[in-house]
Every structure is written in C-alpha cells, then in structure tokens.
A and B are shown apart, each in its own frame.
Chain A
Amino acid sequence: MKSGAANVLIVDDEQIVRVSLENWLKADGHFVSSAASGRDALAVINDKPWDILLLDIKMPKMGGIELLQRVKEIKPDAYVVMMTAYASVESAVDAMKKGAYDYLMKPFEPEELRMIITRIMEKRSLERENLSMKRRIDDESPGFEEIVGECTAMKEVFQLVRDVADTESTVLITGESGTGKELVAKAIHANSVRKYMPFVPVSLGALPETLVESELFGHEKGAFTGAVYAKRGRFELADGGTLFLDEIGDVSPKTQVDLLRVLQERKFTRIGGTAEINSDVRIIAATNRPLKDLVGQGKFRDDLFYRLNVVSIHIPPLRERAGDIILLAHRFLKKYATKTSKPVNAFSNEALDILRKYHWPGNVRELENSIERAFVVVKGDTIKSNHLPFSIQGTEGQVNTESLTEVEKHHIRRVLAEYGWNITQAAKALEIDRVTLYNKIKKYDFKEEV
C-alpha cells in the first residue's frame, strides 16, 4: 500500500466480483470484508471504522443508491465509492449528488482504484490531524484534571503522557498497586487521536488462564463447551481505540506467545475460527511486578518485553510523593462530601499527621479507601484521627479521649462498614452474637449507608 492500509467494505451481490476485489485489495495490503447485500452491509456497518465502502449500484432488493443513503444516515462522514456498469453512468452521477465520494465504471484500470484509495486515505489522515489540532486548541489537557500530582516525579509523568499520547507507541506503565496506572493509561488515551474510540481495559491477573484467550481474542460459536454464542474479544472491541492490558506480568507463557504474535502481526483469529481479524489498537500495558527481573529469571519473554517497553512510564509509590498525599486527601474529601452529602470540609491536624506519616503500601487506592471509610464514622465537619482506620493509625497513635460508649459505637460502625453490613460476619468479627449486634444497631440508631 502506498498510503496506509485501508479498512474496506465491499458490497456486491455477485460472489465473483467480491472475490476478485478482495484478492486485488488484499494484494495491495488492505484489510477487506465483504457483504452480499445491503442488509448484510448494514449489519456490520458499526463493527469497524471503515475507511472506504465500495458499493455496487445494481443489486436486487436494496440497491446501491438506497444503501448509500442509509449508510450516510448512520455515518455521514463515510467515504463511499460506487461501482457501476457502463450503462448506468446516470445513476453514478445521482449517487455523487447523494454523497458518494467517487465512482468507478466497470471494468476499471487497477491504477484508478489505487488512486481513489490513496486520495481517500490522505483525506482521512488529514482529518485525523485536524482533529488532534483542534483538540490541542480547545482543551488544554483532557484527562489530566482527574489526576492529582504536584511533585516533580508526577510532573514528569504528565510530560511523558503528553509526549507519548499522540504517537502510536506501545507504552508500559510500571508502579506499585494502586499508584494510578490505569488513570495514567486513560489520560494517554484521552490525549490521543483515538480519544473518541473506545478505551478497553482488561485485567489479565484477575482472569483464570482458561478464560484469558477467549477474553482477548473472542471465540466462535461452539469453539468449546459453553461457547453458545460467538463472542468478540477485547482486541476486537478496542478496534480503533486503546487496549489497556493490566497486570501483564501475570500472564502465562502461552498467553505471552499469543500476545507477541498479535503485536507483531496486528491480526489474530477468534478461538475456533479461521478468519483473520485485523485490529487497529494501541496497546498500553501495566504491571506492578518488576518485569525486567522476570525477564532475567526467564519468566517473561524478552521479545514481548521489548515490544511492550517502547516507552515506559514509572509511577512512584505514594510514600515517595509526600506533598501529594495531602493534596489527594483533600481531593477525596471533596469527592465523598459530595457523594454522601455530609458537610465535612476539613481534616484535623492530627489526622493530617497520620496521613503524612503512614507508608501507604496500597498507595492512592488505600488513601482513598481510608477516607471513604472515615466518612462512614465522621460527625461534624472535620475528619479527626480516630475516624481513620485503625490500620493506618500506627502504634504511636494519639490518646483517644472518647468515652467507652463512643468508642464502641465507632468500632461497631466501622466493622459493619468493613463487612458491607453482613450481620453474621460483622458479629463474628466483633465476637458477639447476632442478637446482641442487632440490639446495638437499634440502640445507636445505625442505618446502612448506601
């Protein structure tokens, strides 16, 4: 291909025409699908960001012109090229008026079709450029406002995100659990030309090995027991957009090979299928494990590592971003004040101190959870040290000046929240029986917060 591979949809009722066009277009490096009728075409119109639709004008039932109109209703920006026999030049002209981009008179010179495709692909890439220019002008940094970070390390992360967003580079994000890897991946997507296309996350560590393959690549009906329907995999769902492969360090050797192959060839087949599916995805991978070490130990393929690690972004743990802890705490304070409609607007100094000193092994996620939990027990407008979970209060915690009843009350509330108001489990944790717990709930007038 001279100007980038195009996703082409051929619609023609004659099989021989479909096959011959397919052969020719594929030879030129394009990705081709075909439909035998207008109905079949409309069924797949939303499956892919088609670059070019090649429609035969003369088809039984829904003719090419009618199909053109329907397509234009669904996708006003679609590039439609009509194919017509010599006898129907007039309808070709009619088609141009109705929004076709061009027409080809059968039989045509191969070079004619090649030129039309080149022109359309140039326009498409121009449109994409304009879109990204426009984006630069009308919003500074979408996707960033959500991410808190004033320390140098995070500013470096933001700069990297900006630099890499508009490239097609594969990105590897590393950092401990809960440091915000997914958030950064989303920011990259939101700042890229793909922002209007899907961002599809898949957490590879959470999936059993047997499901990983079908989750990623999809399967055909009947591919294995239980495959009652054909299913599209994440690679297909992310077509045109960004695929976020979380916990990449946890994948099996088999899946590593599968992934390597798609990264190299940009195409794959569904389980139990034979058709090759092309997917235009940008890959962002993340891991909280030391991938480089895993490579050294032979647990992670080095070729896959190098494919993924084209650009790497490391997010430092929260304990190394001292200044950000308090900023984040206030961000979450606002968030949960709004969410719970509680008039809470401050932390006590002791509470802030605890937050500063704690080592946050669960990073930002743990900080957010702590504050969410504090909202369950807080009264008044200030979060105090005793509202924070015991686990983070540390050994040198302050003397608690509350009365015994107060302490009991808070403790029960916390435990209830911890167990999602599962009375049996909460009673067990408190080492009291369920009736006693019910009575205390009644006495303190607790209600489950939703």
Chain B
Amino acid sequence: MHHNKLQKIFIALIASSVIWPLLAQTAEDVVVSAAQNSDLHARVLAASCAACHGTNGNAVTGSNENRNAILAGRDANDFTTIMLGFKDGSREATVMHHHAKGLTEDEIRQLAVYFSKQKPTGAVLLKPQTLKAYHE
C-alpha cells in the first residue's frame, strides 16, 4: 500500500534528523536545559491531547475523513481564539467543549505557545499485522 512508502520516508527522517542528535547530548546539556515548572505542566497537558491530535500535535492524516486537526506549528493566537470558543460554547464541537471547559485560560495560553513551537513533522499511519498463533 502507498502508506508503506510514506512510513519509510518518515522513519528515515526521524532516524536521521531527530533521534541521533538528541542521543549525542550529555547529562550536562539535559540539566542546563532544565524545564521550568510551567513547561512541565504544559508538556504533560499537551501530551494528553496526543490521543486525538498525535504526538506533539502531529496528527495522523490517514484517509481524509478520518483526520483530526494538526496542532503542531499552529499560530498561537488562532489556537487561543478557537480554544476559548470551545470553552465558552460559541464554537461548535462534538467533543472539544468537554476538554476546553476543563482548562483554565492560562492553560490554554500555555498550550497555544507549546503547540506553536512544535515542528509539523507528519505522523505515521501504522500498518496493522496478522495476529500470531502463539499470542494469548
């Protein structure tokens, strides 16, 4: 299937440009780049959006109908306006109002900054496989 090729390209990208430079970092680098408390809060909160919007906002863009919005690289102001619309009910939603209403305005602004800084890298649509006979 054509997804296969796409997968390979993404993997090659990920392997060459993201993982290896990171692995080359030392402990000092890691400690120096110590996250602020607010960054820690935002990274975990943002990551809980991944179930629907992908890792760091890179949603899977499978078949057109099956796609959820890509949040990576979104303009922070647009993002904030949309989320506040979900929060106050002025923007139509099937599910986002139930998420946005639970967040504070400050958290929405933190998320806006977080996602605006993420690179739109694309995401892999996973290919399923045949269940093996010896699996439980």
Does A associate with B in a complex?
A: no
Q: Spell out A's residues near B (CB within 8 Å).
A: none
Q: Spell out B's residues near A (CB within 8 Å).
A: none
